[in-house]
Amino acid sequence: MTDKDWRNFGLAVVGLAIAACLPLSGNGYYLTIGVTIAMYVVLATSWALFSGPTHYISLATAAFYGLGTYVVALGIDDVPYIVLLVIALVVGAVSAALVGLATLRLSGVYFVIFTLGLAEMVRQVVTWVQSNWGGHQGNYVLTDITEEIIYWELLALAACVYLAGWLIGRSRLGFALKIIGNDEVVAAHSGINTARSKVLLFMVSGMVASLVGAILAPRWTYIEPSIAFSPMLSFQVVIMALLGGVKRLWGPLVGVIPFTLLWEAVSISFPNQTLLLMGVAFLLIVYTIPHGFVGLLETYSARFRERKG
Amino acid sequence: MKRRLILKLAGAAITASLAFGGAAQAADTIKFGAVAPKTGPLAGGAVVTHWPNIKLWVAQVNARGGLKLKDGQRKIEVIEYDDQTNPGETIKAVQRLVTQDKVDFLIGPYGTGFNLAVAPVFAKYGYPLIAMTAITDQIPDLAKKFPGMFFTLGSTTPIVQGLADILAKLVKDGKIGNKIAMVNVADAFGIELANAARPIFKAAGLDVVYDKSYPLGTQDLSPIVKGAKAANPDAFVAWSYPPDTFGLTGQAMVQGLDVKVFYTAVATSFPAYGGKFGVAANNVMGTGGVNPDDPAIKEYMKAHKEITGLDADFWASSSVYASLQILEQAIEGVGEVDRAKVTEYMKSNSFKTILGDITFDENNNNAKYWTVGQWQDGVYQGVAAVGRDGAKEVRLKSGWK
Amino acid sequence: MDILITGLLLGGIYALMAMGLSLQYGVARIMNLANGEMLVVGAFAAFWFFTVAQLSPLISVFLIAPVIFALNWLIYQFMLLPLVKRAKSQGQLEVDSILATFGMSFILVGLMVAVFGGDYFNYTFLAEPMEILGNTYAANRVVAFLMAMLIGGLLYLWLNHTRPGMAMRAVSVDTEAAGLVGIDVQRMSALAFALGGTVTAIGGGFISTFQTMDASIGILFTMKALIIVIMGGVGDIRGTIVAALVLGLLETFIATVIDPGLTLAAAYLMFILVLLFRPQGFFGRKPS
Amino acid sequence: MARSILSVQNLTKKFGGLVAVNGMTFDVGEHEVLGLIGPNGSGKTTMMNLISGALKPTSGSISLQGTRISDLPAQEINRKGVARTFQLVRLLPSLNVIENVIAGAVFGHRKRWGVEAENYAREMLERVGLQVAGDAPVSTLTYIDQKRLELARVLASDPKILLLDEWLAGLNPTELETGISLIRDLRNDGRTIILVEHVMDAIRSLCDRCVVMNSGTKIAEGTPAEVLADREVIRAYLGDDDA
Structural contact between residues B122 and B289, judged by C-beta atoms closer than 8 angstroms: no
Q: State how far the Cα of D110 lies from the Cα of D158, in Å rounded to an integer.
A: 6
The DSSP secondary-structure symbol of A135 reads: T
Can you list the domains of chain C with their CATH numbers? 2-277 (1.10.3470)
> Which residue, among A111, D141, B243, D12, has the nearest Cα to C230 in the 3D structure?
A111
Q: Distance, in angstroms, between B378 CA and closest chain C CA?
A: 17
C-alpha to C-alpha distances, A250 to A12, A255, B14, B230, C96, nearest whole angstrom: 10, 9, 22, 60, 22
Structural contact between residues D225 and D215, judged by C-beta atoms closer than 8 angstroms: no
| The predicted structure's pLDDT at residue A86 | 95
C-alpha to C-alpha distances, B208 to A57, A121, B180, B395, D36, nearest whole angstrom: 46, 28, 5, 21, 77
Which residues does chain B have within 8 Å of residue A138's beta carbon, measured at their own beta carbons? 191
Taking only residues 34 to 93 of chain C, the set having a beta carbon closer than 8 angstroms to any beta carbon of chain B reads none
Sign of CA dihedral A224, A226, A227, A230: positive
Q: Decide if B18 and A28 are in contact by the 8 Å CB cutoff.
A: no
Q: What are the E-state strand segments in A205-268?
A: none
Nearest to C110 among A128, A273, A286 (CB): A273
Which residues does chain B have within 8 Å of residue C6's beta carbon, measured at their own beta carbons? 220, 222-223, 226
Q: State how far the Cα of A149 lies from the Cα of A128, in Å rounded to an integer.
A: 32
Q: Decide if A121 and C227 are in contact by the 8 Å CB cutoff.
A: no
The residues that bridge with B107 in the sheet, in sequence order, are: B34
Chains B and A touch (3+ CB pairs under 8 A): yes
Give the pLDDT confidence of B219-243 residue by residue, as tens digits.
888 889 989 999 999 999 999 988 8
Give all strands of the β-sheet with B105-107 in edge-to-edge order.
B67-69, B72-82, B29-36, B105-107
Q: Decide if A178 and D95 are in contact by the 8 Å CB cutoff.
A: yes
Structural contact between residues B238 and B164, judged by C-beta atoms closer than 8 angstroms: no
Q: Decide if B247 and C211 are in contact by the 8 Å CB cutoff.
A: yes
Phi and psi at B164, nearest 5°, equal: -60, -40
Q: State how far the Cα of C179 lies from the Cα of B393, in Å rounded to an integer.
A: 74
- Residue A194 Rama label (left phi>0; alpha psi -120 to 50; beta): alpha
Q: State how far the Cα of D127 lies from the Cα of D137, in Å rounded to an integer.
A: 20
Sign of CA dihedral D154, D159, D163, D164: positive
Helix, coil or strand: residue C216: coil
Exposure b/e, C57-85, CB count within 10 A at least 16 = b: beebbeebbeebbebbbebbeebbbebbe
Q: State how far the Cα of C39 lies from the Cα of C15, in Å rounded to an integer.
A: 12
The average pLDDT across B62-68 equals: 92
- Tally Cβ neighbours within 10 Å of residue A1: 9
CATH 3.40.50.2300 in chain B is located at 27-155+294-370, 156-291+371-386
| The predicted structure's pLDDT at residue A85 | 95
- Tally Cβ neighbours within 10 Å of residue D134: 16
The mean predicted confidence, pLDDT, of chain B is 87
The nearest alpha carbon in chain B to A28 belongs to B95
The residues that bridge with C132 in the sheet, in sequence order, are: C135
Which residues does chain A have within 8 Å of residue D97's beta carbon, measured at their own beta carbons? none
Chains B and D touch (3+ CB pairs under 8 A): no
Total residues belonging to chain A: 309
Phi and psi at B202, nearest 5°, equal: -65, -45
pLDDT at D201 over 80: yes
The residues that bridge with B211 in the sheet, in sequence order, are: B182
Structural contact between residues D185 and D216, judged by C-beta atoms closer than 8 angstroms: no
Contacts of C160 (CB under 8 A, 6+ apart): C166, C169
The nearest alpha carbon in chain B to C140 belongs to B254
Give the pLDDT confidence of B2-26 residue by residue, as tens digits.
444 444 544 444 444 444 444 334 4
> Which residue, among A105, A69, A104, has the nearest Cα to A209 in the 3D structure?
A69
| The predicted structure's pLDDT at residue B57 | 95
| The predicted structure's pLDDT at residue B16 | 46
Q: State how far the Cα of D107 lies from the Cα of B1, in Å rounded to an integer.
A: 47
| The predicted structure's pLDDT at residue B41 | 81
Q: State how far the Cα of D109 lies from the Cα of C241, in Å rounded to an integer.
A: 51
Q: State how far the Cα of D102 lies from the Cα of B187, in Å rounded to an integer.
A: 53
pTM of the model: 0.87
- Please indicate if any CB of chain A lies within 8 Å of the CB of C268: yes
Instruction: List subunits contacting chain A, requiring 3 or more Cβ pairs under 8 Å.
Output: B, C, D
Give the pLDDT confidence of C227-283 residue by residue, as tens digits.
898 888 877 788 899 999 999 999 999 988 888 888 888 888 888 888 878 777 777
Sign of CA dihedral D103, D109, D115, D116: negative
| The predicted structure's pLDDT at residue A77 | 84
Nearest to A29 among B84, B95, B184 (CB): B95
Q: State how far the Cα of B317 lies from the Cα of B53, in Å rounded to an integer.
A: 7
Chains D and A touch (3+ CB pairs under 8 A): yes
Full DSSP string of C171-183: HHH-HHHHHHTT-
Ranges of chain A with pLDDT below 50: none
The topology under which CATH files domain A3-308 is ABC transporter involved in vitamin B12 uptake, BtuC (1.10.3470)
Q: At CB < 8 A and 24+ separation, what contacts does A130-133 make?
A: A130/A70, A130/A74, A130/B186, A130/B191, A131/B184, A131/B186, A131/B190, A131/B191, A131/B194, A131/B213, A131/C261, A132/B213, A132/C261
- Please indicate if any CB of chain B lies within 8 Å of the CB of C193: no
Q: Decide if A188 and D94 are in contact by the 8 Å CB cutoff.
A: no
Q: Distance, in angstroms, between A157 CA and closest chain D CA?
A: 28
pLDDT band at D240 (very low <50, low <70, confident <90, very high): low
The DSSP secondary-structure symbol of C256 reads: I
Query: Angle at Cα B310 formed by Cα B305 and Cα B312, nearest 5°?
Result: 75
Q: State how far the Cα of D208 lies from the Cα of D32, in Å rounded to an integer.
A: 6
Q: State how far the Cα of B222 lies from the Cα of C7, in Å rounded to an integer.
A: 10
Helix, coil or strand: residue A73: helix
Can you list the domains of chain D with their CATH numbers? 4-81+160-242 (3.40.50.300), 92-158 (no CATH)
Q: What's the burial of C106, exposed, middle or buried (CB within 10 Å: 0-12/13-18/19+)?
A: buried
Helix, coil or strand: residue D227: helix
| The predicted structure's pLDDT at residue B23 | 39
Give all strands of the β-sheet with D67-68 in edge-to-edge order.
D18-29, D4-15, D59-64, D67-68
| The predicted structure's pLDDT at residue D199 | 84
CA atoms within 13 A on the CB side of D144: 16
Which residues does chain A have within 8 Å of residue D110's beta carbon, measured at their own beta carbons? none
Which residues does chain A have within 8 Å of residue D55's beta carbon, measured at their own beta carbons? none
Based on DSSP, count helices (H) and strands (E) in chain B, helices before strands: 14, 15
Helix, coil or strand: residue B321: helix
- Tally Cβ neighbours within 10 Å of residue D240: 7
Report the greatest alpha carbon distance in chain D.
60
Chain-centroid distance of CA A107 in Å reads 21
pLDDT band at D241 (very low <50, low <70, confident <90, very high): low
Give the pLDDT confidence of C117-134 residue by residue, as tens digits.
777 888 888 777 787 877
Compute the count of residue pairs across chains A and D with CB atoms less than 8 Å apart: 69
Chain B residues near any Cβ of chain C (below 8 Å): 37-41, 43-48, 85, 183, 186, 212-215, 217-220, 222-224, 226-227, 242-243, 246-247, 250-251, 253-256, 267, 270, 272, 276-278, 310
Q: State how far the Cα of A201 lies from the Cα of B339, in Å rounded to an integer.
A: 51
Its CATH architecture, for the domain B27-155+294-370, is 3-Layer(aba) Sandwich (3.40)
Run of H or E residues at A64: helix A61-75
Phi and psi at D16, nearest 5°, equal: 60, -120
The DSSP secondary-structure symbol of A60 reads: -
Q: Decide if B47 and C212 are in contact by the 8 Å CB cutoff.
A: no
Nearest to B256 among C14, C129, C220 (CB): C129
- For chain B, percent of residues with pLDDT exceeding 70: 93
Task: Provide the residue ranges of all domains of chain A, joining segments of one domain with +.
Answer: 3-308
Structural contact between residues A139 and B192, judged by C-beta atoms closer than 8 angstroms: yes
Full DSSP string of D150-162: HHHHHHTT--SEE
The nearest alpha carbon in chain B to C130 belongs to B254
Q: State how far the Cα of A72 lies from the Cα of A88, in Å rounded to an integer.
A: 8
| The predicted structure's pLDDT at residue B118 | 92
C-alpha to C-alpha distances, B182 to B237, C101, C265, nearest whole angstrom: 5, 40, 21
Under CATH, domain B156-291+371-386 is a member of which superfamily? Response regulator (3.40.50.2300)
Structural contact between residues D207 and D198, judged by C-beta atoms closer than 8 angstroms: no
Q: What is the pLDDT along chain C (288 residues), one digit of tens a residue?
A: 788 888 999 999 999 999 999 999 888 888 898 999 999 999 999 999 998 888 888 888 888 999 999 999 999 998 888 888 888 777 778 778 888 898 899 899 989 988 887 778 888 887 777 878 777 888 888 889 999 999 999 999 998 888 888 888 888 888 778 887 878 888 889 999 999 999 999 999 999 988 888 888 888 899 889 889 888 887 778 889 999 999 999 999 998 888 888 888 888 888 888 887 877 777 765 443
Structural contact between residues A221 and A115, judged by C-beta atoms closer than 8 angstroms: no
The residues that bridge with B130 in the sheet, in sequence order, are: B150
The residues that bridge with D28 in the sheet, in sequence order, are: D6
